[in-house]
Amino acid sequence: MKSGKHRVSLLILLCLMVVGLAGCHNKAYSQSIEKGLNAVAENKYQKALTYFDNALAQKPKDEKAQAYRDQTQAYLTTTSELKAGKVKTALTTVDKGVKITNGATSLTNKLKQLKVTVTSDYQEYQQLSDDVKAQLKVKNGNYSADVLKRCAAINWDKKPYLKPLKAKVKQLLTAAKKAKTNMKVSAAEAKRAAALRRKIAAAKNKWNMAALDDVPDWFILALFADDSDVDDAAEELDDEYADQADDNDDTNDTDADSADDDWSDQDTDSNDDTDDDSDTNSDADSDSDYSEDDDDEDSNRDDADDSETQSDDDYDDDTDSESDADDYDTDDQYDDDDDYDDAESLLNPAPVQPSVADRLFASASC
């Protein structure tokens, strides 16, 4: 009897354990589903996917958890395909996600919103593709202003789904630039373009006003048509008009070098002129000194014989003094006094002094 009661107790205990374990699984499942939906509400789709995977681990064949997971994966795959520029594939993926049954209402609504966005992106992609293809067939340079503005205004980072058309768009803009297409803009637009040029030139990049003047107004306006900032605009200019910025830099360098050469030439000429003036002044001073010495010699000749000897000594002293002064003025050009005297005598010969015998003979004759 006791054995039978013991068996019944064990059976009841086993049942309670099974029920308890099932309850734990159900609780973990419910928590995973709840946390997954909360993550969806916060647009944290990768985190939501992890929670739905946990729910499936608790209930591998649960249709609701599987539907939630499939919806989340469709959303993630669609956005990934858009970033990769696969807009047509993204439209197919999101369309399948919207059609998932037994899914969460919140996820269905988000997928529908995403489908609207993808559809619009695909239409923009298709329209731009058709327009660019048509413009590339233009032979006379008469391109459409609307198409060129739209092409120039594209922010490739904000519109990655258009990247497959990037090569064709660049080709069209290059062709328009070579054709010197310069569509007319209104006075207000021209004023705004001038203000935008100053804004770009004020930023820290290689673009200055001289280089920006060669960029047409319509292109400058297009750079900021998509709420782009100055850095984005500079990058677009680098892609489309980099050669103009480089040419301007080369021109500035050449001008700077030319200016340096001019200053160098002016300095050299100035130094030459100074040297010439110095030489002229030195010669003039030397001539003046010798002229004064000549006058002194004439006066000395009329003096008496005893004073003539003194005059000779004075003359020698004057000559020596003059020689020393000339040596100083010419910055020690001649180290040897005798060489200097010889050179000076050739250029400015001094009056020949009569010897003592000649003077005595002259006195006796009188």
Give the helix ranges, DSSP H, for the chain: 2-41, 45-58, 63-83, 87-98, 105-135, 145-152, 166-178, 187-202, 209-212, 217-223, 230-301, 305-329, 337-347, 356-365
User: Which pair of structure tokens corresponds to residue 52?
Assistant: 């739905």
Return the residue matching tokens 């006195």.
Answer: 363
The pLDDT of residue 153 is 87
The pLDDT of residue 86 is 94
Output the CA–CA distances (angstroms, integers) from residue 82 to 94, 114, 142, in the order listed.
11, 11, 33
Which one, of 70, 87, 69, lies nearest residue 78 by Cα? 87
Chain-centre distance for alpha carbon 75: 40
DSSP per-residue codes, 66-77: HHHHHHHHHHHH
The pLDDT of residue 274 is 46
The pLDDT of residue 56 is 95
Residues 127, 200: contact at Cβ < 8 Å? no
Instruction: Return the sign of the alpha-carbon dihedral for residues 313, 315, 318, 323.
Output: negative
Residues 181, 148: contact at Cβ < 8 Å? yes
Give the helix ranges, DSSP H, for 213-229: 217-223
User: Which pair of structure tokens corresponds to residue 207?
Assistant: 């673009």
The pLDDT of residue 43 is 96
Chain-centre distance for alpha carbon 235: 10
- Cα–Cα dist 156/167, whole Å: 12
Chain-centre distance for alpha carbon 287: 65
- Cα–Cα dist 101/68, whole Å: 10
Nearest 5°: phi and psi at 284?
A: -65, -40
All residue ranges of the chain with pLDDT < 50 are: 19, 21-22, 255-256, 259, 262-264, 267-270, 273-274, 276-349, 352, 356-357, 360-366
The pLDDT of residue 311 is 42
The pLDDT of residue 24 is 54
Residues 151, 136: contact at Cβ < 8 Å? no
The pLDDT of residue 179 is 78
The pLDDT of residue 354 is 52
- Cα–Cα dist 118/126, whole Å: 12
Output the CA–CA distances (angstroms, integers) from residue 8 to 12, 30, 87, in the order listed.
6, 33, 66
The pLDDT of residue 117 is 96
User: Which pair of structure tokens corresponds to residue 63?
Assistant: 């249709």
Q: How crowded is residue 309: how many other Cβ atoms within 10 Å of its Cβ?
A: 13
- In a 10 Å sphere around its CB, with 0-12 CB exposed, 13-18 middle and 19+ buried, how is residue 350 labelled? middle
- In a 10 Å sphere around its CB, with 0-12 CB exposed, 13-18 middle and 19+ buried, how is residue 36 labelled? buried
Q: Determine the length of the chain.
A: 366
The pLDDT of residue 141 is 80
Give the distance between the most distant pair of CA atoms in the chain: 191
**DSSP label at residue 100:** -
Q: pLDDT by residue (tens digit) across 103-155?
A: 999 999 999 999 999 999 999 999 999 999 999 998 888 888 889 888 988 98
The pLDDT of residue 190 is 87
Stated pTM of the model: 0.53
